[in-house]
Structure 1
Amino acid sequence: MSTPDRHQAPLSPRRAAEAVSPVWLVLVGIVSVQTGAGVAKNLFDALPPAAVVWLRLLTSAVLLLLVARPVLRARSRADWLVVIGYGTALAMMNFLIYQAFARIPLGIAVTIEYLGPLAIAILGSRRRIDLLWAGMAGLGVVALGLESGSMDPLGIVFAVLAAAAWAGYILLSAATGQRFSGTSGLAIASVVGVVVMAPMGVAQGGAALLDWRLLLFGLVVGVLSSVVPYTLELNALRRMPPRVFGVLMSLQPAAAALVGLVLLGELLTVWQWFAVACVIAASAGSTRTSAGHGDDGREADEASARSPSEDPRDR
């Protein structure tokens, strides 16, 4: 009988993650993000959305600063303007979608918000097939319109604004990635987001922010919504072509709807599920066709070099 190798290296968290399929890492990250949203929504009775957003951004900013340790010297005025804009977009995107969460079902809010990055992908393409994906997304919007009377109109407005903020976030993410190496741009932008949200978050949170139990739940939201998916997706992107990653991320609306059902008891109608399915199909189709002309080897290399600040879903 063989004996264990005493010199075998212990199983570290990183080695454990590398032993898991990158597809599963992305799926777990998706569930983690939406579970964090569900926990956040449960907090809204005790802590306003703005305060929860601030706690979430604070958690992710601390983590990113520890990991990236960005260098602030020798930065141009243009660099600072870009990263400040990026951080402001990050803060507004989170604030607006949490305002939507407080008013309409989680799955519907995420579905509407997902129209932002989908619009960027489709408008930036010149292929005729993307007209099909645009039509599919439009069909989803029509399906949501059929059920809009049963939802808070202000919640829908906030979700639409969150979609626009997400689109702006993607564009500024690309500009930041060109000026800052690795995750340093995202780390600085996260600090900017904390500063931007601090007046509103602290003012609305008030004395509740001194309750250690609420702070603990806010920390949980930050870990589930930022720390866990950030870590898992970073590992997955090293071993996965970006087009595959993009297709998997298209499952976000469905995951949000399921988490809303399980954690919050939010039941969607047939038309609302149809809208979710349309947006998922449009997003997945657009991702597949946009990367259809690249070879897998080149995509794998791009995935290995890609930083989280280039990930449009890294919030």
Structure 2
Amino acid sequence: MKEKLPPFFILLAAILWGTTGTTQAFAPETAHPIAIGATRLAVGGLFLLLIVLVIGKFNFQNWPIKSTIMASLCMALYQPLFFSAVSITGVAIGTVIAIGSAPIFSGLTEWIYLKIRPSKIWWYSTFLSIVGCLMLFVKKESVLVDPVGIVMAIGAGFSFACYTLISRSLLEKHSSLSVVAVVFTLSAICLSPLLFIFDMSWIMSFRGVGVSLQLGIMATGIAYLLFAKGLIDVSSSTAVTLSLAEPLTAALLGVFLLGEYLTVTSWLGMFLLLLGIGLLISGTKKSTSIKGTLNYSVVSDTKNKRY
């Protein structure tokens, strides 16, 4: 049973990430997107750090400082790059390029640095998911191709892919809660100067507090903790592809809560996204069961040799 949970931890994290856009729609008008991103990390980092201190599972022994700083910088860069790309080139293009490029970067970095070649199922599911994401978001009236925005969106996708890969290496020796708490606290410190650049008066309002807590605790703290727990038993490339459930959730919330309208093409894209994610989950389960069978065979052979 436990072997089947990691992919669903990542899916649940992606669903929580998908609430970000809808939550931002309820934020005060004076709240700048980049300021919201910085606030999100600050609240999420403090929330996770508080949990670690209360539980008392904070162990700095043999902590890899270099990897932690790199993961923190990747997450800190992702926030302003993504929000800037969306503001410059539009929600459709910015989201598709940032989220769609992340799985490709993740698969390539695993292949180049870890010498782990992505499986055929990963290629098929990633292709279906990216095409589905493209069909879901891109509308003729919202397309705005801006080179600067596109570069920032690609940078956001690369940052998220690198964060995932580095975090997985940290999770091999430390608990998921400790890793996420330390990384997000450092990321929040990196982005803290932004809180003094933008107007932050909105955060004192009732809606501002509600948005900050929802984005910080649910869509950041709990979401990335679930993502980290899933990363323990799932490859970074698979995890990033599964995270494409985020735009799927965002689209559904837009329809049911914000009254947005989806075209037939968008619904078809949603179907392709579901198909790609379902294909990847089934492939992950099969590979996990095969590993379990192989491990059982090795143990059995060892026991037989002993006697």
Question: Residues 181-220 of structure 1: matches in 2 within 5 Å?
Answer: 181-209=175-203, 211=205, 213-220=207-214
Deviations 1:66-100 (A, max 9, x none): 2224334664xxx2221111111112223333345
Cα distance in 2 for residues equivalent to 1:142 and 1:54: 27
- 8 Å CA contact 2:90–2:142 kept in 1: the answer is no
Secondary structure in structure 2 of the residue aligned to 1:43: coil
Q: Cα offset for 1:138?
A: 5.9
Q: Cα offset for 1:113?
A: 3.7
- 8 Å CA contact 2:16–2:218 kept in 1: the answer is yes
Q: Cα offset for 1:160?
A: 3.7
Question: Residues 216-231 of structure 1: matches in 2 within 5 Å?
Answer: 216-229=210-223
In the alignment, structure 1 residue 151 sits paired with structure 2 residue 143 = yes
- 8 Å CA contact 1:122–1:286 kept in 2: the answer is no
- 8 Å CA contact 1:37–1:225 kept in 2: the answer is no
- 8 Å CA contact 2:42–2:192 kept in 1: the answer is no
User: What residue number does 2:81 align with?
Assistant: 96
Q: How many residues align?
A: 273
* Gap change, CA 1:142 and 1:171, over 3 Å in 2: same
Unaligned runs of 5+ in 2: 112-116, 294-307
Cα distance in 1 for residues equivalent to 2:16 and 2:268: 24
* Gap change, CA 1:289 and 1:199, over 3 Å in 2: same
Q: Cα offset for 1:272?
A: 3.8
User: What residue number does 1:303 align with?
Assistant: none
* Gap change, CA 1:126 and 1:83, over 3 Å in 2: closer
User: What residue number does 2:34 align with?
Assistant: 50
Alignment root-mean-square deviation, CA: 4.2
Percent of pairs identical after alignment? 20
Unaligned runs of 5+ in 1: 1-20, 300-315
Query: What letter corresponds to residue 51 of structure 2 in structure 1?
Result: V
Deviations 1:92-126 (A, max 9, x none): 223333345556448x7655443244325654435
* Gap change, CA 1:126 and 1:207, over 3 Å in 2: closer
Secondary structure in structure 2 of the residue aligned to 1:255: helix
Q: Cα offset for 1:183?
A: 2.2
* Gap change, CA 1:234 and 1:293, over 3 Å in 2: closer
For normalisation by structure 2, the TM-score amounts to 0.68
Q: Cα offset for 1:190?
A: 0.7
* Gap change, CA 1:164 and 1:41, over 3 Å in 2: farther
User: What residue number does 2:124 align with?
Assistant: 132
Cα distance in 2 for residues equivalent to 1:134 and 1:172: 21
Query: What letter corresponds to residue 250 of structure 2 in structure 1?
Result: A
* Gap change, CA 1:296 and 1:58, over 3 Å in 2: farther
- 8 Å CA contact 1:27–1:248 kept in 2: the answer is yes
User: What residue number does 1:33 align with?
Assistant: 17
* Gap change, CA 1:181 and 1:151, over 3 Å in 2: same
Cα distance in 1 for residues equivalent to 2:123 and 2:11: 28
Cα distance in 2 for residues equivalent to 1:142 and 1:24: 23
